[in-house]
RNA sequence: GCGCCCGUAGCUCAGCAGGAUAGAGCACCAGAUUCCUAAUCUGGGGGCCAUGGGUUCGAAUCCCGUCGGGCGCACCA
């Protein structure tokens, strides 16, 4: 979703002032105060830590003083002379070690409020990504059963990240890699064959060790009995393995897509590992890597430091991942000649890189051990051809489920896992999604069933949604009284109202920062802060009716306050949309 | 043994590509409030940012060591 840059006058305030600072530096260059061509990447344009210091702050003088062979304060004075030419700047001071703090005319904030209204759902949208294509691969759960809570965090974080990147100006491909070619899907096929025989009336007894025991395979077996009759009941595995596997995987993917839909997640591309093999992609990658001496036939070493009594070295084709920082070289094929997971994954990433400018993978922390090898493979395959593309793997840490303060135990083998569908049904999509985004992904987190559904201000999901609902209920109430939002008397908004605008105006910066860092949780924390500020303002009205949004006998002020409320609601709505959380009108 | 992640207030966590006096919620303390602006409100105390070094004008943030917790470590996926 590319979007051309809006005219400068319509850009968010802090983006405009980044330009103001940039132009001021240009002027100093022309005047000879600054040497030409200094790197300005570290120059900031942000609100001061303490609002009492002003509205916009920059560290430009501190960052550029040294390369300009001057001192920060001297440079700051020259810079201030330029900056104060902007009519919106009503004052500027040097503070601390060389910060420049500018104070803006209140009209600048009223303009920002108008901008929010004009941009609407697009307020905060950025051209930062420049239309470059980012492939975000997430979920990619094995197609052997329903989604369980172990998949949940990565699914939500990946989905929110994809939305965030799209909002920040990237074209985004949401991709799911189906591991439909390994040993696990053969196990699935055998498990389904058992259910098939069961559906034909055979007494199969308990599901044997090593097969998937879940009831969700019963209908799959029944469908196969319907389709094939009894022809495969006593047939050798070689006869039915492939057709059973194909149908079982398809059935699992229907189930998984349904689970994902409950969370509001829809991928653009489902890439099949089996298709990859059928197209000869791993072999092609191997040939290329062998030509470049990155694969050799060697002996697989014992894992480092671990005691392996019965270790026997095996001759295997190994990828030289140690050249890229891995601990040891990794096999791409097994001793029977079939591909390892890594061998196929390597080819898969090469395939993805052909259709994107950057790759992002969302993985569970339990896969941390394989990060180095796959990054090595991508570096080898794309770097050596001069097509090196950025490739990031974001690890999401474990989630501990708690019920009544006690950890909920999960065992995949016995089938006693907590399914995603059950949790979404129990606590709701919004709660699941917001909670998963309410912590930075690289920290572990608890998911306490009791706490996440609590409808109080202690619950961030509720707190943010409640702020939006308050906005909407106020607008409804005003509407019934024949009152409407209006910009006619915006200049009657006072300091408390302007403070709210100042915070809301951070949204575009939060978006760009979060997108650049690939950290959607920042949006959630911002919304919590904005909701908090809104509630605090609302509470002023408890004791002071003159601070309410609807002020009796003052339609001008009421119109301005309603306009403010509507825009705060707009920003909350835009943020929640990125997180995939409903902006409810009532609670 | 090795690799990755984490360690910030009593608890749960933020801290935005190194910046100003380290923030929020809960809990605690002190007030207000029974109000439909309705799932309370206002204010306050509380920190050696695990620890020892290093880098520089400046470090919770970057680098190295130590301690503590989590995850992982064969041709599984």
For A462-518, the pLDDT digits (tens) are: 999 999 999 999 999 999 999 999 999 999 999 999 999 999 999 999 999 999 999
| Average pLDDT of the residues in A310-325 | 87
pLDDT (0 to 100) of residue A51: 82
Distance spanning both ends of chain A, measured CA to CA: 33
A189 compared with A406, residue with greater pLDDT: A189
* Smallest CA–C1' separation from A462, nucleotide: B39
Is the CB of A532 within 7 Å of strand B?
Answer: yes
For residue A309, is pLDDT > 70?
no
For residue A410, is pLDDT > 80?
no
Scan residues 251-290 of chain A and list those with Cβ within 7 Å of strand B.
Answer: none
For residue A1, is pLDDT > 50?
no
| Average pLDDT of the residues in A268-292 | 96
For A553-564, the pLDDT digits (tens) are: 899 999 999 999
The per-residue b/e assignment along A203-214, b for 16 or more CB within 10 angstroms, e otherwise, is eeeebeeebbbb
For residue A5, is pLDDT > 60?
no
For residue A236, is pLDDT > 50?
yes
Is the CB of A105 within 7 Å of strand B?
Answer: no
Is the CB of A324 within 7 Å of strand B?
Answer: no
Say how far apart CA A520 and CA A434 lie, in whole Å: 11
pLDDT band at A262; cut points 50, 70, 90: very high
pLDDT (0 to 100) of residue A146: 95
Which pairing describes strands A406-407 and A99-104: parallel, antiparallel, or unpaired? Answer: unpaired
Scan residues 331-370 of chain A and list those with Cβ within 7 Å of strand B.
Answer: 331, 334-336, 340-342, 365-370
pLDDT band at A385; cut points 50, 70, 90: low
For A418-433, the pLDDT digits (tens) are: 899 999 999 999 999 9
pLDDT (0 to 100) of residue A50: 83
Scan residues 194-253 of chain A and list those with Cβ within 7 Å of strand B.
Answer: none
For A167-182, the pLDDT digits (tens) are: 999 999 999 999 999 9
pLDDT band at A459; cut points 50, 70, 90: confident
| Average pLDDT of the residues in A329-352 | 94
The per-residue b/e assignment along A143-171, b for 16 or more CB within 10 angstroms, e otherwise, is bbbbbbbbbbbbbbbbbbbbbbbbbbbbb
Task: Give distance CA A94 / C1' B19 (Å).
Answer: 14
Segment among A18-22, A47-51, A175-179 with least mean pLDDT: A47-51
DSSP state, A333?
B
pLDDT band at A252; cut points 50, 70, 90: very high
Task: Give distance CA A299 / C1' B16 (Å).
Answer: 48
Say how far apart CA A164 and CA A571 lie, in whole Å: 14
pLDDT (0 to 100) of residue A413: 55
Whether A518 and A360 have beta carbons less than 8 Å apart is answered as yes
Say how far apart CA A312 and CA A309 lie, in whole Å: 9
Say how far apart CA A419 and CA A272 lie, in whole Å: 24
For residue A353, is pLDDT > 60?
yes
pLDDT (0 to 100) of residue A435: 94
pLDDT (0 to 100) of residue A2: 34
Segment among A209-223, A230-244, A401-415, A555-569 with least mean pLDDT: A401-415
For residue A77, is pLDDT > 60?
yes
For residue A110, is pLDDT > 90?
yes
Write down the pTM of the prediction.
Answer: 0.95
| Average pLDDT of the residues in A275-292 | 95
Task: Give distance CA A547 / C1' B46 (Å).
Answer: 33
Residue-range domain boundaries for chain A: 8-104, 460-579
Of 3.40.50.970, 3.30.1360.70, 3.40.50.300, 3.40.50.11740, the CATH number of A8-104 is 3.30.1360.70
Task: Give distance CA A551 / C1' B76 (Å).
Answer: 67
Task: Give distance CA A534 / C1' B68 (Å).
Answer: 40
Q: Which nucleotides of B are covered by protein (CB under 7 A)?
A: 1-7, 12-21, 23-26, 37-42, 57, 69-77
What tokens were used for A431? 């709660």
Is the CB of A58 within 7 Å of strand B?
Answer: no
Say how far apart CA A168 and CA A15 lie, in whole Å: 14
* Smallest CA–C1' separation from A95, nucleotide: B20
Task: Give distance CA A345 / C1' B7 (Å).
Answer: 34
pLDDT (0 to 100) of residue A455: 79
For residue A312, is pLDDT > 90?
no
Scan residues 420-459 of chain A and list those with Cβ within 7 Å of strand B.
Answer: 439-440, 442-446, 455-458
Percent of chain A at pLDDT > 70 equals 96
Is the CB of A513 within 7 Å of strand B?
Answer: yes
Is the CB of A548 within 7 Å of strand B?
Answer: yes
What fold does the segment set A460-579 form as a domain?
A: Isoleucyl-tRNA Synthetase; Domain 1 (1.10.730)
pLDDT band at A215; cut points 50, 70, 90: very high
Name the residue closest to B16, CA to C1': A513
For residue A313, is pLDDT > 90?
no
For residue A3, is pLDDT > 90?
no
For residue A66, is pLDDT > 90?
no
| Average pLDDT of the residues in A568-575 | 97
pLDDT (0 to 100) of residue A86: 95
Question: What ipTM score was computed for the predicted complex, to two decimals?
Answer: 0.96
pLDDT band at A6; cut points 50, 70, 90: very low
Is the CB of A519 within 7 Å of strand B?
Answer: yes
């Amino acid at each position: 979703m590319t979007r051309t840059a809006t005219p400068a006058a319509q850009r968010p305030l802090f983006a405009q002032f980044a330009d103001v600072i940039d132009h001021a530096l240009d002027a100093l260059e022309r005047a000879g105060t600054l040497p030409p061509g200094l790197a300005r990447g570290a120059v900031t344009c942000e609100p001061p830590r303490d609002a009492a210091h002003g509205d916009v702050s920059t560290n430009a003088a501190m960052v550029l003083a040294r390369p300009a062979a001057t001192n920060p304060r001297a440079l700051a004075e020259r810079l201030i002379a330029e900056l104060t030419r902007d009519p919106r700047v009503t004052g500027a001071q040097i503070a601390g070690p060389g910060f420049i703090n500018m104070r803006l005319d209140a009209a600048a904030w009223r303009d920002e409020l108008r901008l929010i209204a004009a941009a609407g759902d697009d307020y905060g949208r950025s051209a930062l990504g420049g239309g470059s294509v980012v492939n975000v691969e997430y979920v990619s759960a094995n197609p052997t059963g329903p989604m369980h809570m172990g998949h949940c965090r990565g699914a939500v974080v990946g989905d929110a990240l994809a939305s965030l990147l799209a909002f920040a100006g990237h074209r985004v491909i949401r991709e799911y890699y189906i591991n439909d070619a390994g040993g696990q899907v053969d196990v699935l096929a055998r498990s389904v064959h058992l259910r098939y025989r069961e559906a034909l009336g055979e007494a199969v007894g308990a599901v044997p060790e090593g097969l998937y025991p879940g009831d969700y395979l019963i209908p799959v077996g029944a469908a196969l009995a319907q389709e094939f009759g009894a022809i495969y009941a006593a047939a050798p595995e070689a006869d039915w393995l492939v057709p059973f596997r194909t149908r079982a995987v398809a059935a699992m993917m229907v189930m998984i897509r349904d689970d994902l839909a409950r969370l509001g997640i829809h991928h653009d591309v489902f890439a099949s590992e089996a298709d990859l093999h059928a197209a000869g992609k791993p072999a092609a990658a191997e040939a290329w890597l062998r030509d470049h001496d990155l694969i050799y036939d060697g002996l697989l070493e014992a894992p480092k430091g671990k005691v392996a009594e019965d270790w026997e070295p095996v001759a295997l084709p190994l990828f030289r991942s140690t050249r890229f920082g891995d601990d040891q070289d990794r096999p791409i094929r097994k001793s029977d000649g079939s591909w390892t997971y890594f061998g196929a994954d390597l080819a898969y990433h090469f395939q993805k890189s052909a259709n994107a400018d950057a790759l992002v993978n969302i993985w569970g922390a339990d896969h941390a051990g394989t990060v180095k090898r796959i990054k090595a493979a991508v570096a080898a395959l794309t770097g050596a051809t001069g097509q090196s593309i950025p490739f990031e793997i974001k690890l999401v840490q474990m989630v501990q489920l708690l019920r009544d303060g006690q950890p909920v135990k999960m065992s995949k083998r016995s089938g006693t896992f907590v399914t995603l569908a059950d949790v979404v049904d129990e606590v709701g999509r919004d709660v699941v999604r917001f909670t998963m985004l309410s912590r930075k992904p690289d920290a572990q987190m608890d998911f306490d069933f009791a706490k996440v559904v609590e409808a109080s201000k202690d619950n961030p999901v509720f707190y943010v949604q409640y702020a939006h609902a308050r906005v909407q209920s106020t607008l409804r109430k005003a509407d019934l009284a024949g009152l409407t939002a209006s910009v006619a008397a915006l200049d009657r908004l006072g300091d408390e109202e302007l403070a709210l605008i100042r915070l809301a105006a951070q949204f575009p910066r939060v978006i760009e920062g979060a997108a650049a860092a690939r950290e959607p949780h920042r949006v959630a924390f911002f919304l919590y802060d904005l909701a908090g500020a809104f509630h605090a303002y609302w509470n002023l009205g408890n004791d002071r009716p003159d601070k309410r949004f609807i002020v009796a006998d003052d339609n001008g002020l009421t119109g301005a306050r309603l306009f403010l409320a509507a825009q705060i609601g707009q920003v909350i709505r835009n943020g929640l949309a990125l997180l995939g959380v409903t902006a409810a009108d009532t609670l």
